[in-house]
């Protein structure tokens, strides 16, 4: 059975339309993924109880470029000298000093120190100084981040596992930040039984 030329043209146009549609859709998806938002799965317990292992999060890559960072924002970034993304909470903003003494985190700026309001942490969870450093001085352009599970993970207070030796960085440069956590989807419901 022979197919007419007209029928072949119709089939070819239909195939072209489908391919053009798929290219268009994939172009939009890739633009969103690379420039607007990115999905991640939380690995580890460093942000417990706020985020548990295997929670699926969407990271907003646009608003951090437009707006200012706020204390308490949760960000995804790659620490200096590391290659994998971390998820942590912003504690200290540019122009401030962080002090961790006697289980208390204080934020100081211009001779005024205030105890950090950490109502997102359980009452029994206390912050301790680790890795030999108790005070982290002012830096104008970078951020100091900490985990919510203060006894389990590494963060700016411990130079991301580099022990704060000369040359180690305890702060997160802006250009290492991927984005701010926007929403959690499909949490690991077994933690809420």
Active site members: 46, 88
- Write the Ramachandran bin of 170: left for phi over 0, alpha for psi from -120 to 50, otherwise beta: alpha
Residue 74: burial class (beta carbons within 10 Å; 0-12, 13-18, 19+): buried
Look-up of token digits 């146009």? 13
What DSSP line would sit under 11-32, residue for residue? HHHHHHHHHHHHHHHHHHHHHI
Q: Which residues lie below 8 Å from residue 96, measured CB to CB, with a gap of 6+?
A: 107, 108, 109, 138
Asked if residues 127 and 155 have their Cβ atoms less than 8 Å apart, the reply is: no
- Measured distance CA(192)–CA(190) in Å, rounded: 5
């Amino acid at each position: 059975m022979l197919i007419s030329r007209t029928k072949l043209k119709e089939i070819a146009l239909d195939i072209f339309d489908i391919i053009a549609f798929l290219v268009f859709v994939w172009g939009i998806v890739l633009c969103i993924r690379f420039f607007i938002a990115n999905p991640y799965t939380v690995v580890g317990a460093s942000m417990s109880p706020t985020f548990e292992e295997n929670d699926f999060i969407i990271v907003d890559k646009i608003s951090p470029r437009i707006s200012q960072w706020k204390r308490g924002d949760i960000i995804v970034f790659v620490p200096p000298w590391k290659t994998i993304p971390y998820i942590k909470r912003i504690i200290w903003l540019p122009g401030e000093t962080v002090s961790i003494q006697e289980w208390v985190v204080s934020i100081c700026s211009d001779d005024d120190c205030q105890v950090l309001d950490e109502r997102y942490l359980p009452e029994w969870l206390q912050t301790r100084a680790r890795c030999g450093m108790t005070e982290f001085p002012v830096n104008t352009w970078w951020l100091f981040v900490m985990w919510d599970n203060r006894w389990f993970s590494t963060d700016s207070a411990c130079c991301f596992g580099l022990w704060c030796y000369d040359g180690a960085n305890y702060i997160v440069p802006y250009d290492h930040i991927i984005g701010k956590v926007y929403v959690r989807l499909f949490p690991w419901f077994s933690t809420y039984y």
